[in-house]
Structure 1
Amino acid sequence: MQGLTKAQVDKAEGRDFALGPGPKRPRDAATLILLDRKGEDVLVLMGRRHASHAFMPGKFVFPGGRTDPDDGRVPVTDALDPQVEAKLLSTIARRSLTRARAIALSAIRETYEEAGLLIGRKAPFATAKADWQGFVENGVQPTLQPLRLVARAITPPGRVRRFDTRFLAAWRSDVAVELPNGGPTNELEELVWLPLGEARQADIPAITRTILEELQQRLTADPLLRPGGPIPFYRMVRNSFVRDIF
């Protein structure tokens, strides 16, 4: 998508995003790319959105959604890796550790709500936050330490919904509990683990395909997905969709 004009991006994404007047300022959002190894392949978790949804109907996506500021106040067993934390803080105009934690924790919460996967450690957990009662009931203490920031993308102007999305990644081994019936929101009607190459050929939004390509290149260079790697940043600048590295 790098180098495309706004008109070209609108055409490429016209079936994925509702075009029209929307918020000028994108909202914070986070998504989690959950990975697993099977032989020589790296698998990625994808979920199909219901066809009735106004936002990306029927598309395969990563679990994720808008950040809730209250997520930043949920207790965790381990903080973000210092390098990941520094990178995430650099994406925030007014740097706030609470806001950075909220962005990261929203990816963990959404993965539970949409996929029924609870990232953390098996141990008693207590919080009054309603959206985190699944962790309380299943005895999972959320942890941020396994998360890796792998990309950032801002939805171009002219969309009904705009998001400043941070793409985070973790491994399936970081999941403490897998609920057999998926997440409680039922936003994703089908969950599949796909090899990265197959995932790129699935019915996915254009930006998702771009992020998968970036991730595959990073895993080739660093199969362990260690913290501190280069982070691609996609956004619209003066009528051109650009890619920067930070």
Structure 2
Amino acid sequence: MKYYIITRTSNEIGEALVKELLARKEQNHIISISRRENVILSELAKTHNKNFSFYKLDLRKTELIKGTIQSIFNNDVHNNNEGIYLINNVGVIGPLGPIEKNTDTEIMDNMIINLISPMILTSHFIKHTNYLESDKRILNISSGLAKYLLPSQSAYSTSKCGLDSFTKSIALEQKEKKFPVRIVSVYPGVIGTKLQEEIRAANKEDFPLVHLFQGVYGNRHLQTSEDTAKKLLELLLSDTFGHQTVIEELTSILIP
């Protein structure tokens, strides 16, 4: 059996990832970590007779991550597994605007959710899987804005750039391990999510390039969460996963 630990499954990409896994024939155990329970996913799991566990956790409360991962490995994950995968999907776009207009709390929230919590989750995932000979992989959902910098998104770009650097560092550490964890950071493309809605609704004074995102939406160039989820899982389960640490072209639609 394969185990999938996925953060932020309450909606959008996380929800689509779980739905795609539930629809597949193979018997998986999907473990959700999210602030809110997605009742639709719980019901779908029952309908498909699939293993699904939900752990309620606000990833801003980083001190609770250790206990949550401990519970997952105590209660849900069997040592004789075929594979175990962590998808760090959680993310926030805000604060938007020049750095001097960003509040201390907004900056801290962005860094904790986008960078610190994936780092801690990765740390505990590796601690609990170090001795396992099974297939072990981590997929970090990054952003093209880690590389293609725009004004008024300094916190988001910095946190995602940090996530890429962290991914590269862990890949180097794992190269020397007897049973290594393969890890990749991916730019999923421009997707029709609430994050995009937030950007398009930004004040032009605070975000001068808001028209770029409005144009992508107006031209119907946004990917769906469902299509993105399929491509992400295709990447995660590919034979070449880990050969390239940062994947910039999951899709052809990137912010120029």
TM-score normalised over the length of structure 1: 0.28
TM-score normalised over the length of structure 2: 0.27
Higher relative contact order (CA 8 A, sep 6+): 1
Task: Say which structure is richer in helix.
Answer: 2
Task: Say which structure is richer in strand.
Answer: 1
